[in-house]
Structure 1
């Protein structure tokens, strides 16, 4: 029931739980004193004495206020712990993703990570802030009540003590039974989340091909499966709660019956009371029996709430314990950003996709990779950036092997601009500062000026111009230029443009290509493009087909050779001329 590994993930957890339990115990002591006070005033009535009502009212009021204070402090410690758990674990998720690097999605699906970081952590915080403090408090409360009732009647105390471990035993047995049900529940939950994310991301495609009805049917099937698994889990929890209720009420009944039998034998008494202390002792036992079993009953209820968190903790632990991609190192020669690929191969599902290629990307030059879709261009980019791992052969950035590079260093010095960059909902300034948190407004404006976007931004609301989610209120070309401006603000040493000019208007394409030619004077430029007209001014061009480099050279050299590059270039040129006419 306790996961010591997760307990040690969060500093201060043990202290917070200990203080929570301590203040709950103080609250229990106040409740015990209230019970004693009630019996004391009843005893005075029973003896025919005239009690001091004012003192009794002040006493009960004071004890209730103290009880409220201690219970409130316990709640505050529980709330503080729950917030700390959620914040700390989600930060650990984020840091783990950063440590693993761009290839994190190869370790665990993005939808599963989102579900664990969201609902999984929410469930787990109940385990931390509710279940664990209640577990320790229940043990402490039970021992306190056993000792206290033993002073009134030992046999009653022993009967209650015999029943008290039964609820924890039911909890433990319930956990062992629930593992299979919870396993199927979480598997169904992850499947539903993965299907939902896939459908959302592909909604436009599904609409285009009239496949939305089929996707809707698949989604309904996944949702129904999750509903069935959820109902089975709830049924199991309800049955377990019924068993715990029977034990709790049975224990209270057994304790009360034993106390009555002991009262008839004259074996119940309260030291310090006058008159019929047996009757007063019986009343006190009746009042204390409630406090004896309530903590254990609450523990059982919290267990069913926290059970999902207990099981989710295994998935959370698995993710947080994933090995980092590498400890990594920095580039040994920080002035050399030549990239050399030598006999590099890469496989998908044991099928060779990139087949022993050799490419050189010299610093201060623009090198282009071209070819038909599916030839391996973007795969090379993903390997260079660390999104894909496990290549064979060698890729050196300067004199350092790519697989040995620190992920954070690679991301700092290599920037990829794709055909579909992402922007967060917020201002232009906020999105730009992601690249360089120390950038001034002047720095941002200079970067926007480089991509000919400053005048447009100023015509809106300046750097405070709000972007919708993924900058949907910008045109494709404006969005692409904004992405390049953000990359300029980061000032990496290697720029990779992966189809960065596809599906944008001619004006933006011209601006971007002019900037790329300017950047190559001081940066390593890698250009991936399906349009050969964009690579004409490249210093080096590699033509790929089926994972192989089949041609290389400058544009003029490849045109003169008259092979596949030249034929594709001529074909595209004719298509463009036809479109203009």
Structure 2
């Protein structure tokens, strides 16, 4: 129930844990004093009347004040312990992900990272703030009470103390079953979260291909499995609580029974009997409370295993190479698969010159976005060479790679704030004139001048903008970055035709002075490219200009013909509608 690795992560948290135990123990002493005073009042009231009350009133008042102070201070120490562990764990997870880089998904799923960073650390916050202090206090409290009761009746003290370990023995028996059950619970939990995130991110694709109903049924099945395992966990917890209550009540009854027989025989004074009766429950309450925290501890330990597995993931060697201005990008006989079961790219070779427009086209699932992913250093598991200049992309430092390359994807993320704050992320030193120039190039300045200019508020993910406006703002941000290479990965998907044309005009102008790669499923956007690379089922099946590919590449000719026919059909519909 205690993992030394957790304690070593935040050694200063143990100071707050021990402080919490200390204040709880002080509260126990105050409670003993309170009970002592109350018993003296009850025993002496018949003979001494108000004198007994007055005599014990200061003790009772001080004991009550001590209990209140101990409760407040123990909660404060508990909060400090839990707050520290949550902060440290999340910081370590974040820094680990930064060291792993974009390829962290090769070690752990994004959904699992989110879950252990949020829910997992919350469980460990409770583990450190409540369970660990209660674990130590549950040992100290019965021993303290044993010392208090022993002079009154050693028989009752021994009986009460003997029953106390039966509760942790019950916990240990349940733990053997619970450890396996909670491991399955967390596996189902992360699997459900992973599936939900994947479905949410690919919702548009699922709708386009009519696969949303099947995914919906699959997610319902996963949710049902999670419900079943959750109910099993709750049933295990409730059963363990019933058993612990039976042991605690039975132990208290046994101790009181021994004291009762002694009092009936005249071997125990009435005051001592009352004191034992009132303190007997205190023997078991700390351990009983510990049992109620048992499921929290088990959840925390299950979560910690996943956290330590992430923290122990092998890190790639430090990247020290630098991308220099003007370095060209080359893929030489590159093969790649996101897992060991399916290869996405097969022996692909292509190059991106220092300036000009290069396009990568193909049907959905042909590997276009994977090419962009590898160019941006998104994975190190490729075979072959992905070079920027003379250096492998996996050897180039993240900072240098970020300066050298800018990627604009479909649905580029906009942060809550203002237009200015979003643009400043690309170039913190950019002035208002530079920002307006970038907005002019992206054909967004006229709209923003009619709003609040650079101080126009932006909602999270740009929810208060249209799809075209979001993409044009993302484009303006990319232009401000002023890198050597720009990769537009389906950057004009799901936006109106007018916005698409404006963005492509900016891309064409940019290609006059920069290296530009356009990943697109719509061939009309890349007709004027200097070189078009055609992918089919992960293989490069053609390279050349638009005219050359129409004559020499059947895959390109099929794509072109089908898209032209579809666009003419839609144009006819619009014409008839008019």
After superposition, residues 430-469 of structure 1 pair within 5 angstroms as 430-436=421-427, 443-469=434-460
Contact kept, 8 Å, 1:363 with 1:524, in 2: the verdict is yes
Residue 159 of structure 2 corresponds to 159
Residue 306 of structure 2 corresponds to 315
SS in 2 for 1:460: coil
SS in 1 for 2:102: coil
Contact kept, 8 Å, 2:325 with 2:484, in 1: the verdict is no
Residue 542 of structure 1 corresponds to 533
Moved more, 119-128 or 437-446: 437-446
Residue 81 of structure 1 corresponds to 81
After superposition, residues 210-359 of structure 1 pair within 5 angstroms as 217-263=217-263, 278-324=269-315, 326-332=316-322, 334-347=324-337, 349-359=340-350
1:282-320 CA-to-partner distances (Å, cap 9, x unmatched) read 222222222221111111112134432332222233233
Contact kept, 8 Å, 2:360 with 2:518, in 1: the verdict is yes
CA positional deviation for 1:186: 2.9
Contact kept, 8 Å, 1:24 with 1:71, in 2: the verdict is yes
CA positional deviation for 1:51: 2.3
2:410 corresponds to 1:419: yes
Measure the CA separation in 2 of the matches of 1:88 and 1:480: 37
CA positional deviation for 1:391: 0.8
SS in 2 for 1:15: helix
CA positional deviation for 1:451: 1.2
Moved more, 417-426 or 231-240: 417-426
CA positional deviation for 1:199: 4.9
Measure the CA separation in 2 of the matches of 1:376 and 1:219: 27
2:109 corresponds to 1:109: yes
Q: 2:490 aligns with which of 483, 490, 499?
A: 499
SS in 1 for 2:21: helix
Residue 474 of structure 1 corresponds to 465
Measure the CA separation in 2 of the matches of 1:191 and 1:211: 19
CA positional deviation for 1:522: 5.1
Measure the CA separation in 1 of the matches of 2:199 and 2:539: 34
Measure the CA separation in 2 of the matches of 1:223 and 1:247: 36
> Could you list the runs of 5+ residues in structure 1 that have no partner in the other structure?
269-277
Residue 125 of structure 2 corresponds to 125
Moved more, 330-339 or 430-439: 430-439
Moved more, 290-299 or 482-491: 482-491
Contact kept, 8 Å, 1:367 with 1:525, in 2: the verdict is yes
Residue 27 of structure 1 corresponds to 27
Residue 387 of structure 2 corresponds to 396
CA positional deviation for 1:543: 3.5
1:355-386 CA-to-partner distances (Å, cap 9, x unmatched) read 32332223334333334444332221112223
After superposition, residues 39-188 of structure 1 pair within 5 angstroms as 39-45=39-45, 48=48, 51=51, 53-54=53-54, 56-188=56-188
Residue 193 of structure 1 corresponds to 193
Moved more, 455-464 or 390-399: 455-464
1:469-493 CA-to-partner distances (Å, cap 9, x unmatched) read 5334433322211111222334444
1:525-567 CA-to-partner distances (Å, cap 9, x unmatched) read 22223444544554444343443434445567x3697555884
Q: 1:529 aligns with which of 517, 520, 527?
A: 520
Moved more, 195-204 or 442-451: 195-204
The structure-2 alpha-carbon separation of the partners of 1:230 and 1:555, relative to structure 1 and needing over 3 Å to count, comes to: closer
1:147-166 CA-to-partner distances (Å, cap 9, x unmatched) read 22223333332222211111
Contact kept, 8 Å, 1:141 with 1:292, in 2: the verdict is yes
Measure the CA separation in 2 of the matches of 1:83 and 1:359: 51
CA positional deviation for 1:72: 0.6
SS in 1 for 2:293: helix
